[in-house]
Structure 1
Amino acid sequence: MKKEFYEGIKSILASARNKVYQTANFAMVEAYWQIGKSIIDEQDGEKKAEYGVGLLKELSKRMTADFGKGFTVANLKNMRQFYLTFPNGYALRSELSWTHYRLLMRVENVAARQFYLEETVKAQWSTRQLERQIHTFFYERLLSSKNRNAVSKEILDTAPEKMPEDVIRDPYVLEFLGLSPNDDFYENDLEQALITHLQKFLLELGRGFSFVARQKRFSFDGRHFRIDLVFYNYILKCFVLIDLKVGDLTHQDLGQMQMYVHYYERELMNEGDNPPIGIVLCADKSDAVVRYTLPENEAQIFAARYKLYLPSEEELLKEIRQEYRALESAKTDLCD
């Protein structure tokens, strides 16, 4: 097969995928801009974010019932802010995704925001590339640099370029289209097997655990996060969040769980609930570690109740170690 022939076929498919990517993203961008405008119009042009919170809550409730995920109060506020930041709908660029615009909305300097918008379109920056440029003050560095070409080229070496097939994995697009993310994109077989065993173990423990979600995704500040397992303990009246790490446990892992706990405490607790609990488990060949993340400023009496109904560190360690060894042994047998 001639190389030129294959490259031509490859170019056709890449171009078609890119059109699908842009079409899906821009349809979402236009819809969210129109929703933001409609909210402002309904609020009589009031620009204060605090105004009309009741309207957003009711709208979120009804839209979630009719269209599924993606219409939380926080997301509706983003759509509202989107219209306020880019009031000229005719100037929206089809090359930019909703995530691009969410990043641009955080740039307070109007001149810098317009610069990043134009550069993203011209250089076809991915959302990761745009985020990096904003966080490293690319606009300010470029203005003060004597070697602007070198500053401009550095992005090519520090962040991966956008791939058209990324639309398949974009959680915002999947939510907009009413599709469910494929969890196989995010976890390998070993982690999946350990999570499955842990899920079964907790449900069989008989201490008030009720299964809520697996690979629970939520978005915060434009970033997407996944919690391996979410339970509700009806004895403790609280959510229990569990993350499994295959490999060394880091301070970042513990900090991330703390963020999960805070998010559930502020956004998803129901009236009468106690604050959520986070559990981080680390499993590898040399060691296994369990770390609990309890709510801050929690009364000692509640901490005692948590210890009574939650599995102990020793119980969790035993289960994780046994299952890890069993899985590793099975994998070795298959390879022999």
Structure 2
Amino acid sequence: MTTRSGIDLLPTSRPLQLLDKRGRRAPKTRGGGLAMPDDETLLAAYRALVVGRRFDRQATNLVKQGRLAVYPSSHGQEASEVGAVLALRPTDWLFPTYRDSVALVTRGIDPVEVLTLLRGDWHSGYDPVAHRTAPQCTPLATQAPHAVGFAHAARLKGEDTVALAFLGDGATSEGDFHEALNFAAVFRAPVVFFVQNNQYAISVPLARQTAAPSLAHKAVGYGMPGVGVDGNDVAAVIAAVAQAADRARSGGGPILIEAHTYRMEAHTNADDATRYRTDEEVAAWRDRDPVDRITAHLRGAGLLDDARADAVAAEAERVAADLRERLPEQTPPDPAELFAHVYSSPTPQLREQADLLRAELAEED
């Protein structure tokens, strides 16, 4: 299907791929014209994947130790996060979800600051403007209209800025998702909607979320191209997002990318994934591991030897150790902060509620 201007909207029948699950170059027909990233970029992706996975494992352990309130692991889908971030320019903006902590670390944000929100602190933890990264969003898809509004405003001001909105497959069932796509397409906002399809919205499989051939097909109804990519192939993700960002930057309008990947761990530490998926299914996806794939490719190409691999592994351990050391112990929250930033001038009702809370706390003392 094409638009009147001749733009092909339909995604390919199979997700685009540059490297197969063994790290070998995929047939050119699988790449859909995507250009293989250069060696330096692939080595940077390898480093980010190794560091990101170690960070992810450390964050999971911090939850078990009671030092972190919750952590949604991205183990297994790191290539989607790392690849998308590496494809952006430093001046572009990122609008992440709660599961995109590895993307934030790849963006250069202090890992301690990344985890601030997930410790139960109402503060973002990092400066969004300094890092051109919006606060992590817990409600599904509400960051999508934010990304569109930001990108539309940047275009009106003549700024060379692309906004990338991370979304999960469950977010595509939300009204905010559809409103964002419609506005972006109508006004040709420079936005890349990047959907990490990890096969489950908590415990709900994709087949119970949509009857569409793929999530990428949802773009067609809004008049924008849809692209499916192997989300465990970091090379393909980098190439697809870079191509989409270039198109958006040049006035071509928004695009929807569906990255086919898998969440290896439970939804969060409060979830029991064994209740809704089988060990065989998990094992099949483990065989497509994104870190193993890029490692095999780089070793086969002579770009990665033991010395460099050991150096990257040592760096990842330093990141984990630094996180353990610097992540502060949880401090008791101040209940008065509940009322501090609701209105610039507290309303009578707000003052009354604050007085009631203070009275209750005083009685407990």
TM over 0.5: no
| TM-score class normalised by the smaller sequence | under 0.3
Larger Rg: 1
Q: Per chain length, whose mean CA-contact separation is higher, i.e. which structure has more relative contact order (CA < 8 Å, sep 6+)?
A: 2
More helix by share: 1
Name the TM-score, length of structure 2 as normaliser: 0.22
Give the structure with the larger strand fraction.
Answer: 1
